Chains A and B, each alone.
Chain A
Amino acid sequence: MILTSVKLKNFRCHKDISLSFSENLNYIVGGNGQGKTAILESIYYLCTTKSHNTNSDIEVLKFGENVFEIFGSFKNLVNDEVRVIYSSEENKKRYLQNGKHKHRLSEVIGNYPIVLLTPVDHSITFGYPGDRRKFFDSIYCQASAAYLGLLVDYNRTIRQRTSLLYSIRENRNKNFSELDAWTQKLLETGAELINYRKNFFSEFELFVKQAHSEILNGNENPGLTYFYLSGYDGKDIKDRFAELLEAKREDELRRCACLVGPHKDDFIFDINGINLKTFGSQGQHKTFQVALRFAEFFYLKEKTGKAPIFLLDDVFGELDTARSVRISENLRRVGQTFITLTDFTDISYLHKRSTDTVIKLMDGIVTYA
């Protein structure tokens, strides 16, 4: 699936521009504040109905305007025309596919799969366990509806059980058999969730190793470890889960929080057996983040049978020339890709081909090189 063109009206700093794209690499080049990331953001809107970096549509609207509009043409077996229109006066957003109104997110998600690499990915390798869970969950949920259902069920159980722990502490409720039932529910859904994550992770790790070695030519060997249920020693997951729940029971009642379960899972990355978060350099972190996104791309392509559109926002900033060149060469295998770059002269080493497009943005004027 290929995005052939985009038209933007009053979107971020763009008053009214039209862009046409290559089926291969698209470099979007311009100075700071010229709206490079805004173009990636508009592509994200077309594929998912929303922005990747804000929850409120009004922030995306050009200052002093009331309506923004994104128009995109996709080329597939058939051609799709997608329009996203937002009006601040009505505070309403419309998503139309071939002129038909799509009301539900679930009608849109998965039609145009997308993988996005941004500087915010920093948090996957540097940040908290929650950032990593969010990253892996978002990939697995796209591949498995059963996992998505399980995750929703589990999160609801956590909320219900936490609420019950509060009411027990405030003495509104002294019914411990009710707590036992919710603990049992947590245990059953949680153990199933861990099993799903174990399977997913052992498969996904291969994709990461593959991507990493292609970027680096095999100098570094990345590793991923899935940590769940502290002290787990290979016996039955449910047994260990139950032991931990029992041990933390008093703590849970005092702190009114669910302290054990897959919502506390973490994923540890290493390079040649050395912990990345503690000892990795900026460049190693960045390379790892790129490898994770490449892995996501190929994993989703295999699982869903559709090649996602690949967006890379400002990736080459922290990488040396050798790594940048290898990444851009690998991108040729990928399919349609959009890359933002700050400096026009920068791309000389990336060996642009005739099928690639360079889009230069300056003061709202688009030129192709």
Chain B
Amino acid sequence: MQIAEPLQIAIEELSKLPSIGRKTAQRLAIHLLKSDIDAVEKLLSAIQNLKTKLRFCNRCFNISTEDLCDICSNHKRDHSLICVVEEASDVIAVEKSNEYHGSYHVLAGVLSPLSGVGPESLHIKELLKRFETEEIQEIILALNPDTEGEATSLYLAKLIKPLGVKVSRIARGLPIGGDLEFADEATIGRAVLGRITL
């Protein structure tokens, strides 16, 4: 079957996006084709703005519109606390909790020798530099509880502890409002091990 070339190019480009398959790409392309020119232009400029208006924060590597992100430049926040996360999307997740009022540091990945990711490819040097200019009292490691996340936590703890700063790791356990019977066995096992006295 012959597909008009512009449509075909649009489908190809859309299907390069994560979690978009060929069929979804085709549906999106047809949808855009049918949409008003206004809507399409809005989408276009929104996408363009991602690249032109956004950059990474000089200090914490969070997504930002300025050299320093809103969190780093906010004086009301507790800058003696740094929460270390894997990706900028994790900052959004922790922020949504409204429970944390310190600052962040985005590593942009975790250690994974199999994929060729070592400490030099992560923002670890920049994290250590922050100790020279900032008064830091505690580092909270909030990396994913998988093999690579745990190894990275151990690596960071070893680097930071000699600097005389408290290093902690976020707790693991059951989701709030979740039913115990639906939690997986590994999580329940961890939660029982990490129980707290009332």
Contact = CB atoms under 8 A, between A and B. Distances in A.
A87 B120 CA distance: 48
A163 B154 CA distance: 18
Contact of B112 (A160, A173, A185): A160
A267 B120 CA distance: 42
A346 interface: no
Interface of B: 111-114, 116, 118-120, 146-148, 150-152, 154-155, 158-159, 184-186, 189
B136 to A, nearest CB: 20
A184 B148 CA distance: 12
Interface in A151-182: 153, 156-157, 159-161, 163-164, 167, 173, 175, 177-178, 180-182
A161 B113 contact: yes
A168 to B, nearest CB: 9
Contacts of B152: 181
A185 B147 contact: yes
Interface stretch (A8-16, A142-150, A225-233, A284-292): A142-150
Contact of A167 (B113, B148, B184, B185): B113
A49 to B, nearest CB: 21
Contact of B111 (A144, A149, A156, A181): A181
16 contacts: A146-B185, A156-B148, A160-B114, A160-B151, A178-B111, A178-B113, A178-B118, A181-B111, A181-B152, A181-B154, A181-B158, A184-B151, A184-B154, A184-B158, A185-B147, A185-B151
A160 B147 contact: yes
Given A163-B114, A180-B158, 9 more contacts: A153-B146, A153-B147, A164-B113, A178-B119, A181-B111, A181-B155, A185-B150, A185-B151, A185-B154
Contacts of B118: 167, 173, 175, 178
Nearest to A153: B147
Nearest to A166: B113
A159 B151 CA distance: 13
B143 to A, nearest CB: 12
Contacts of A163: 113-114
Interface residues of A, number: 24
A167 B159 CA distance: 21
B186 A149 contact: yes
Nearest to B114: A163
Contact of B113 (A145, A146, A160, A188): A160
Contacts of B111: 160, 178, 181-182
B185 A177 contact: no
B113 to A, nearest CB: 4
A159 B112 CA distance: 10
A160 B111 CA distance: 9
A323 to B, nearest CB: 38
A145 B112 contact: no
Give the one of A150, A153, A185 with max B CB within 10 A: A185
Contacts of B112: 160
A153 B150 CA distance: 10
A144 B119 CA distance: 35
A145 B186 contact: yes
A184 B113 CA distance: 15
B184 A177 contact: no
A153 B186 CA distance: 12
A160 B148 contact: yes
A177 B151 contact: no
A173 B116 CA distance: 10
Nearest to A158: B147
Contact of B151 (A144, A150, A157): A157
Nearest to A155: B147
Contacts of A180: 155, 158
A181 B119 CA distance: 11
Contacts of B154: 181, 184-185, 188
A157 B158 contact: no
Interface in A162-217: 163-164, 167, 173, 175, 177-178, 180-182, 184-185, 188
A163 B147 CA distance: 14
A144 B114 contact: no
Contacts of A185: 147, 150-151, 154
Contacts of B186: 145-146, 149-150
A156 B112 CA distance: 10
B66 to A, nearest CB: 33
Nearest to B146: A153
Instruction: For the complex of A and B, list the 6 residue pairs with the smallest distance between their C-beta atoms, beginning with the closest.
Output: A181-B155, A145-B185, A164-B113, A163-B113, A149-B186, A156-B147
A177 B155 CA distance: 7
A123 to B, nearest CB: 29
